[in-house]
Amino acid sequence: MSEQAGKTPSVHAVKAKMSGHELSDFFRGIAERHMLGSIVFLCIGTDRSTGDALGPLTGSRLVEYGFPQVIGTLPEPCDAFNLEARLQSIPEDQVVIAIDACLGQSSSVGYFFASEGPLTPAQSVGGKLPAVGDYSVAAVVNVHGPKPYWTLQVTSLYQVMGMAEQIAKQAAAAFGLGP
């Protein structure tokens, strides 16, 4: 994993709120700076919770689009239990793009927060995991409330699948890949 990916990256990186369509510029900027072979998509989440399945759904779609290095798919999720071990498997010279679901304000549901910097997995539910990613995309899948685990369980699968597809499609277009 690269110096910024899981070590001491700037935790104060600017996060830009954007629509799925606007993700194309974000991914295009990454594609202009880094070769595809140096990119690892780290798609965080579990297939056991509708709202938290965004990462594995996105990872599976990225594989279908032809991305060579994807960690976190439906058959092999990258979740709170194995995240740190999976991070150790990433070579230091690789650029990590972290993707995860999150909860937020009602006006942000359906939007993405993209950053040239890390995200902190499980933050919405009070988890304590390391910040990850040289770049990151956090998808706001539902409203943050007093019962975040319950909220993730009752999040619309349609919403989550659509957001996962938007991420994968925009990344594939930026890197010149197709299904």
82 pLDDT above the threshold of 90: yes
DSSP single-letter state for residue 80: T
- pLDDT 10s digits, 115-146: 999 998 876 666 778 899 999 999 999 998 88
Query: Which CATH code for domain 15-172?
Result: 3.40.50.1450
Q: Domains of the chain: which residue ranges?
A: 15-172
**53-87 burial code (b ≥16 CB/10 A, e <16):** bbbbbbbbbbbebebebbbbbbeebbbbeebeebb
- pLDDT 10s digits, 12-70: 467 889 999 999 999 999 999 999 999 999 999 999 999 999 999 999 999 999 999 99
Beta-carbon count within 10 A of 131 CB: 21
The per-residue pLDDT for 13 is: 62
CA 102 – CA 125 distance, rounded (Å): 9
